[in-house]
Chain A
Amino acid sequence: MKVLVFVEIDDKKIRSTSLEAIAYANAMGADVTAIALGSAGRASLEALGKYGAKKVLHASDSKLDQPIAQAYATVITKALTDENAEVLVLANSSLGTPVAAKVAIRTGAGLVSNVVDLPDTSSGFSVKRSIYTGKAFSVVEVTGAKKIIAIKKNAAELKEVGGTAQVVDYPVNLPDTDFNAKITSTEKATGEILLPEADIVVSGGRGMKGPEHWGILEELAKELHAATGCSKPVSDMNWRPHHEHVGQTGVKVAPQLYIAVGISGAIQHLAGVNSSKCIVVINKDPEAPFFKAADYGIVGDAFDVVPKLTAAIKAAK
């Protein structure tokens, strides 16, 4: 089976979720070609071979440094045909998901987003996806000849398998009409670990009492190479930026470890964290509902426990 994987480049770096998409395609036992758009170093593209890409198409047109989904969809639609690929795999993201939807309409492919596991091809082609905001799954069959699979974080294990991919220049002709919006500016936290991609998340709630107290969470996060998150009231009150808000109406995270500090564990918050592998809850109230959803719990004052935890992690290194 031939599979094309859309690889996202962010600031000339390959997104870790895109590496997972390659690993996913490789684990399907497929013949994997990746396609990368925009400026990127050759070495980083060749290194996609490590996760199983045999070939990397590189559409390096600098116009594609603007991540406009419409233009990306044009390139990927063409590559699907050129490569005669049966399946397109990509990571769910603010760019990947709209690209998947557009390519699906243009090619008539069956699209499944939010996929959490490898396909079952024992009879037909079935995949499992997360629904009801992490509270359930559905197993769906994709019947069409072409298929698009948009995966959630952790849908495949990131395993190193191969060597160097062959990088092929992929020139494209982009109509001006594809650039259907002008990106006037991009505001992004630099040098930080992105919340949706983080393996460890340290999250704070209203129990942190105010934005001036986030320092102890940031120190813990730094020690763990973690991203920081928060509950909705915290971002509503502007204690933290909106893109850190985790939950039903915010970012859905799927880290290895989620540490919740001073968060009560309302069902809407849990909806954003229930795909975490391991949950640690620190709360001064032993009755906080979050403990029921946790793997490990500490009843205690955040201002006492968090600095001790940071020190203990440092000591254990």
Chain B
Amino acid sequence: MKILVCISCVPDTTSRINFIDNNTKFDTSGVQFIVGPYDDYALARAVEIKEANAGTTLTVLNVGLADTEPIIRKALAIGADDAIRVNAEPTDSFFVASQIAEHAKGFDLILMGRESIDFNSGVVHAMVGEMLGIASFSPIMKLDINGTTAKMAREIEGGKELLEASLPLVLGCQEPIADWKIPNMRGIMSARTKPLKVVEPKAVNAEVKLKKFELPAPKGAVKMIPADNVGELVRLLKNEAKVL
């Protein structure tokens, strides 16, 4: 089996978000980058499937500039065999999906995260599936492969649905599909020499263009209410906040 895992390189979940250049560019200063948390679940499940199925190969793919390479190496250290980096700034979901689709042909299983935590689009997997003409599902919280059949649990509003479909598949993953894996020393050493191919992007006609970024208005101060006066809270929720 051939597995492809697509990873986004995103600011750590604790990052403060700021913009520069007249609110047109993300401010990377002081920001630590990580493998997207959902993509990390996808990668963890892919490694488990590879370990359980001899002869399985696992490739990771990232659309990003050269500064994402430490993150790609981390994915290699966790257990991927090789990597592809499409040398372009990931400016929009359709652009990213188009680049991934270029390199995703021939894989039996294409795993992604349910969403990136910078764009939060949640659409790249479905777009790639559509471009390749193969089925896609998200968010998948359980995945078992038996031959060419995948049994899955997909989260829906207020519960889950159990699904069965045939490979090839594109899936957006989330917990508890697997536990995040931490690279060990041997993995880190071997990742240094695993192949990382850099390819140039294909031209894409973007239908969506960024105009500017904005930050939310700062939050007002909290009003503290004594624990023995919950009636006051109810009154404020009714008359001041008007949410009851």
> Which residues of A are at the interface with B, using a C-beta cutoff of 8 A?
10, 69-70, 73, 92-95, 97-98, 100-102, 104-106, 108-114, 126, 128, 130-144, 180-189, 192, 194-197, 200, 224, 236, 241-243, 248-249, 256-257, 267-268, 271, 274, 277-278, 280-281, 291-301, 304-305, 308-309, 312-313, 315-316
- The smallest C-beta distance from A199 to any residue of chain B, in angstroms, reads 8
Does B200 lie at the interface of the complex (its beta carbon under 8 Å from any beta carbon of A)? no
Contact in complex: B214, A312 (CB < 8 Å): no
Contact in complex: A133, B158 (CB < 8 Å): no
**What separation, in Å, do the CA atoms of A316 and B237 have in the docked complex?**
11
Interface majority SS (helix, strand, loop, mixed), chain A: mixed
Contact in complex: B237, A278 (CB < 8 Å): yes
Contact in complex: A98, B126 (CB < 8 Å): yes
Interface majority SS (helix, strand, loop, mixed), chain B: mixed
Per-residue CB contact flags for chain B residues 141-179 toward chain A (1 = under 8 Å, else 0) read 100000000000011111111111100000000111000
- The smallest C-beta distance from B157 to any residue of chain A, in angstroms, reads 5
Known: A113-B122, A136-B214. A312 touches B241 (CB 8 A): no
- The smallest C-beta distance from A195 to any residue of chain B, in angstroms, reads 7
| Closest B residue, CB atoms, query A276 | B243
| Closest A residue, CB atoms, query B37 | A249
Does B59 lie at the interface of the complex (its beta carbon under 8 Å from any beta carbon of A)? no
| Closest A residue, CB atoms, query B137 | A181
Q: Sample 23 A-B pairs with CB under 8 A, ordered by A number.
A: A69-B137, A94-B155, A101-B123, A105-B127, A110-B94, A113-B93, A183-B161, A187-B160, A188-B158, A189-B159, A195-B158, A242-B155, A242-B175, A248-B13, A249-B38, A257-B241, A257-B243, A271-B13, A281-B222, A291-B222, A296-B237, A304-B227, A305-B230
Known: A132-B11, A141-B208, A181-B137. A197 touches B157 (CB 8 A): yes
Contact in complex: A184, B238 (CB < 8 Å): no
- The smallest C-beta distance from A296 to any residue of chain B, in angstroms, reads 5
Contact in complex: A133, B117 (CB < 8 Å): yes
Does B121 lie at the interface of the complex (its beta carbon under 8 Å from any beta carbon of A)? yes
Per-residue CB contact flags for chain B residues 132-144 toward chain A (1 = under 8 Å, else 0) read 0001111101000
Contact in complex: B17, A141 (CB < 8 Å): no
Contact in complex: B162, A184 (CB < 8 Å): yes
Known: A249-B38, A296-B236, A298-B225. A194 touches B158 (CB 8 A): yes
Per-residue CB contact flags for chain B residues 205-244 toward chain A (1 = under 8 Å, else 0) read 0111111111110011011111100110111111001011
Enumerate the 7 nearest inter-chain pairs by beta-carbon distance, A residue then B residue, closest first: A110-B207, A300-B227, A188-B159, A101-B126, A144-B207, A101-B123, A105-B130
Query: Which residues of the partner chain A approach B135 to less than 8 Å between Cβ atoms?
Result: 70, 180-181
Contact in complex: B216, A136 (CB < 8 Å): yes
**What separation, in Å, do the CA atoms of A234 and B124 have in the docked complex?**
30
**What separation, in Å, do the CA atoms of A172 and B210 have in the docked complex?**
37
- The smallest C-beta distance from A185 to any residue of chain B, in angstroms, reads 5
**What separation, in Å, do the CA atoms of A299 and B157 have in the docked complex?**
32
Contact in complex: A186, B159 (CB < 8 Å): yes
Query: Which residues of the partner chain A approach B222 to less than 8 Å between Cβ atoms?
Result: 281, 291-292, 294-297
Please name 18 further chain A to chain B contacts, defined as beta carbons within 8 Å, in addition to the given A113-B122, A189-B159, sorted by A numbering: A97-B122, A101-B123, A102-B126, A104-B127, A131-B120, A133-B120, A136-B213, A180-B135, A182-B163, A188-B156, A242-B176, A243-B156, A248-B37, A278-B243, A291-B224, A297-B223, A316-B238, A316-B244
**What separation, in Å, do the CA atoms of A112 and B117 have in the docked complex?**
16
